[in-house]
Amino acid sequence: MEQTLTMAPSTPVKASEHAYLVEVFSAIQGEGPIVGTRQIFVRFLGCHLSCAYCDTPATHTKQRQCRVEQTPGRRDFVELANPVPITLLLEHLHKLETFPGLHDGISITGGEPLQHLRSLRTLIPAVKPDFSLYLETDGILWRNLEPVVDDFNLIGMDIKIPSATGLQPYWDEHRRFLAIAAKRDVFVKVVLTRDTTPEELDTTLEIIKDVDAEIPLILQPVTPYGVVRHPPSPEQVLAWQSRAKSVLKRVRVIPQTHKMIGQL
């Protein structure tokens, strides 16, 4: 008979269920409208994209080990073998919550966490009674979002524009994704470089407006990384925000603030 571990009443987790992870740690949220809040970050391994500005290259490599912080904020990591049993992951999540309310929620991130639908469908019911859940996603895998959309308190979806990613456009996928995500509290983030075009921004605005003009848009000037060396100028950002505010009601410019304070 298969052994189970119960982290919350009526939420049994099979001992055989597991997740492929890169890291688990406590940190200050550095992006989007909940910037400055304290989160436990659960970073899933693997991504179906290779964006030019990606600052988590470990998600694209075969990670035999996952590093897990033992004490919130101390960076006293230990290594666990991949895949990590979800029963063990739950133990570490509750260990990081050293007192009720230390963390404002759990950030499910990556890589692209929606590639791990089975793991999410096991993990989410076990942590939802105790934590607010925030999904960070590239906003493309809309079919994988459908089964779990109601489980998240907040969804932060990217719209990937080709001038920044160096990839093909995903306009149709983003439209479908946002239409589903709008069932919950959602915001859209778009990373901007000096090469961002008015046409890319206008298409982004159209996608959001067609779903709901009240959905917040976060304009994020790219943090130079890898082959991406040139963020947009202040003049460009101001012009783009003005253009966006003529269409949408809630537009903010927020850079990656965690990079400014040297944090993970």
For the chain, which domains are there?
14-260 (3.20.20.70)
Q: How far is CA 11 from each of CA 7, 14, 84, 86, 122, rounded to the nearest angstrom?
A: 7, 10, 19, 12, 9
First-to-last C-alpha distance (Å) of the chain: 41
CA 28/CA 70 separation, integer angstroms: 16
pLDDT grade, residue 211 (50/70/90)? very high
pLDDT, tens digit (0-9, with 9 covering 90-100), for 62-85: 899 999 999 999 999 999 999 999
pLDDT grade, residue 12 (50/70/90)? confident
Note whether 178 and 215 are within 8 A (CB): yes
Least confident span in 130-139, 156-165, 252-261: 252-261
The two tokens of residue 136 are: 């960070």
pLDDT of residue 37 exceeding 50: yes
- Given this model, what pLDDT does residue 230 score? 85
**If we measure between CA atoms, which residue out of 141, 133, 131 comes closest to residue 46?**
141
- Given this model, what pLDDT does residue 11 score? 62
CA 53/CA 56 separation, integer angstroms: 9
**Number of residues assigned to the chain:** 264
